[in-house]
Amino acid sequence: MDSPSSPVVSSPPPLSHQRFCALFAEVAPELLRYVMTIIPNVADAQDLVQETAIALWNSIDRYDPSKPFKPWARQIALNQARQFLRVESRRRRFVEEEVLNLIEARRIALAPKLDARRNHLSDCLSRLPTEQRTLIRGYYFEEETIESLAARLNRGVEAIYKALQRTRQALSLCLDRKLQMEP
Amino acid sequence: MKQPDPLTQSIHAYLEGRATDSEIDLLNSELKRNPEALDRYLQFADLHSCLSLEETLRTAETDLPPLLPFPTPPPRPLSWISWLARPWMGAAAGLAVGLCGASIAWAIASPKPPRIIPVPFHTFADQPMGHIPSSFPKTTGIWSGDPSEIVLDPESKTGERREILRFLRAEADAAFPQGPAEACDVLQLIDLRPLKAQALENGDSLLQLTASFSDRRTEAGEPIRFSCRLFLYSGDPEHVRERWPQSQLKAVAAANTYCESPGGSPQTPHLVTVKTVLAPQADFAVLQLVAGPVFSPHANPPVLGEQYVSDVKLTLRTQTAPSPALNP
C-alpha cells in the first residue's frame, strides 16, 4: 500500500478517438508503404491498413501514450500482414517468418535512405524516355492492365512486363546515382 | 540494358503478383542469406509502392514534359488507395470517414445496446426473375449492373421458394465500354432521406450491408473475390450514375469488405458484412455486390456462372453518441 507521502502513480489518460484518428492519419501513408513492401498488391495492402486501424483501436488500452505511436502501429500492421500471409500462403507463399523479421529490421535501418531516394523520384521520372513514362503512367497511374497496355502499344504481354522491369531498373539506378551525388 | 539477374527478376515478378514457386523460393533463400538482396528487394518494393500510391507521380506529373498522345485511358473502378490517399495528402481529418470510420467510431460508442432499424430496399424476391437491367441503376430500388440473373435457388434445402442472384459475366462499365471487363458488379440505389431524421436523432448511426455469397464450383479453380461495398452520396444520383465508377471518389463515406473463394466447397456460404457511418450529409446510398478476380488489377476476367449471392440485408444501427469525456 502506498504511504501518504508516496507519489501517486496514475495511468495515462486514454487516447480519445479524435486523437487516435489524428495519430493514425499521420502514420497511415507510411504504414501503407510499409505493408506494400511485403504485400505489393495495392488493394490488399489498403484493406490490411484498414484492418490495422481497427486492430489498433481495439487494442488501444494497451497503448502507452507516452511512447511513440508509429512503432506500435507498425508492429500491429506487421501482425496483420503475418496473418494475411498465413491465410494466403496456400496460394502465394511469399516470405517466411524469418524473412519477414529481416525485412522489418532492415527496413527500419534503411528508412533514411529510402526517404532520400523518394525525394528524387520526381526528377528521375522526368528523365525517363517517353516510352517508359508512358508505361509507368499507364500501369501505375492509370492502373491499366498489362494486356490493355500491350494492345494499345501493339506489343506482346511479356514484352510489356520486360519493359516495365527495365523501367523500374532505370528508375532505381537513377535514384542511386542521385543519392550518391548528395553532399 | 542487360537482362536482370534471377534475383532481380524474381523481385519484379513478386511485385507484379506473378512470381512462380521457384522465384518465391529463390527470394526466400536470398533474402535470408544475402543482405544485399534484402536491400535490393526493399528498394524495388519501395519504388513500386511509391508509384502505386500515385502521390509521387501526381507531383511529378506537373513537371513532366508532355507525354505521348495518350488516348483516354480505359477507366477502371478507381482503386481504394486513390480514394484513401487523397485525404492523407490533404487533411488528416478526412480520414474520419475512411480509416477511422465505422468500426472505430462504433467501438467507442456508449455501451447501450444499439437500435436496429431495417432499411427499406428491394431484395431479389422483389424484382422479376431473369436478367437484371444492365448498367448503373436509373432509379432506386432496382438491382442492375453487369450480366446477372435472378433465379430460384435450386439448392434451397427447405424447399421454399428462394430468389438468389447468379453472377454471369464480368463486363466493362457502361460509361466506359472500352474499359476492361474485370468483375461482375451488381448495384442498387437507396434513398436515405426518409431515414436520416430518425437515424440522427438517435445518435451515431451505422449503415450495415450483409450478403451471403456462394461459389458452387465443385472443384477448386481460379479464386474469386466476393466484395460488398457501400457508398454514400449527397446530391443528385444522376451525377453519380453519369460518372460511375469515377464518382466513387465523390462519396461522402464508403466501405468495402471482401472474402475469397477458391471453389471446391459448393455448400459453404461466405457471409460478408460491410458497414459505414451514416454521414449526416448523405442523401442516398449505392450498394455494390461484386464477383471478381483476386489478383486485380492484372488478372483476367473471372469465369463466372456458378457464383451466387443471396440473403442481402441492409440495416441501420443507431446508438447513443459517445460521451463528451471520450471525445473531447
**pLDDT tens for each residue of B23-42:** 888 998 999 999 999 999 99
pTM of the model: 0.47
pLDDT at A13: 52
CB of B85 within 8 Å of a chain A CB? The answer is yes
| Strands of the B220-233 sheet, one edge to the other | B144-145, B184-191, B284-293, B220-233, B253-263
What is the C-alpha separation between A145 and A147, in angstroms, rounded?
A: 5
pLDDT digits (tens, 9 = 90+) for A78-113: 888 888 877 665 545 566 778 888 888 898 889 889
Mean pLDDT of chain A: 79
Check if A168 contacts B (Cβ < 8 Å): yes
Query: Side-chain half-sphere of B234: how many Cα atoms within 13 Å?
Result: 8
Q: Which residues pair with B116 in a beta bridge?
A: B317
Read off the C-alpha cell for B4: 536482370
Contact assignment for B38 to A103 by CB distance below 8 Å: yes
ipTM over 0.90: no
Please report the pLDDT score of residue B39 as a whole number: 94
Tell me, yes or no, if B1 comes closer than 8 A to chain A by beta carbon. Answer: yes
Contact B289, B312 (CB under 8 A): yes
Of the two residues B295 and A175, the one the predictor is more confident about is A175
Supply angle C-alpha A126, A130, A133, rounded to 5: 60
Calpha distance B199→B205 (Å, rounded): 6
Q: How far is A84 from chain B (nearest CA, A)?
A: 12
pLDDT in tens, A151-176: 888 899 999 999 999 999 999 999 99
pLDDT digits (tens, 9 = 90+) for B86-130: 222 222 222 223 333 333 333 323 334 456 677 777 889 888 999
Greatest distance between any 2 Cα atoms in chain A: 83
Contact A131/B68 with Cβ under 8 angstroms?
A: yes
What tens digit of pLDDT does each residue of A119-155 get? Answer: 888 788 888 888 888 888 888 877 778 888 898 888 9
| Arithmetic mean of pLDDT, B134-155 | 90
Which pLDDT band holds residue B174 (cuts at 50, 70, 90)? low
Interface test with B, best of A16, A19, A135, A137 (most B CBs within 10 A): A137
Cβ atoms within 10 Å, residue B229? 24
> Does residue B254 have a pLDDT over 50?
yes
Side chain identity at B70, as an amino acid letter?
F
Looking at residue A149, its pLDDT comes to 87
Asked if the peptide bond before residue B177 counts as cis, ω within 30 degrees of 0, the response is no
Residue A15 binned pLDDT confidence (cut-offs 50, 70, 90) = low
Q: Residue B73 and residue A144: Cβ atoms within 8 Å?
A: yes
Q: pLDDT value at position B158?
A: 61
Confidence at residue B2, expressed as pLDDT on a 0 to 100 scale:
61
Per the model's pLDDT, the better-predicted residue between A151 and A16 turns out to be: A151
Chain A contacts of B298, Cβ < 8 Å?
Answer: 145-146
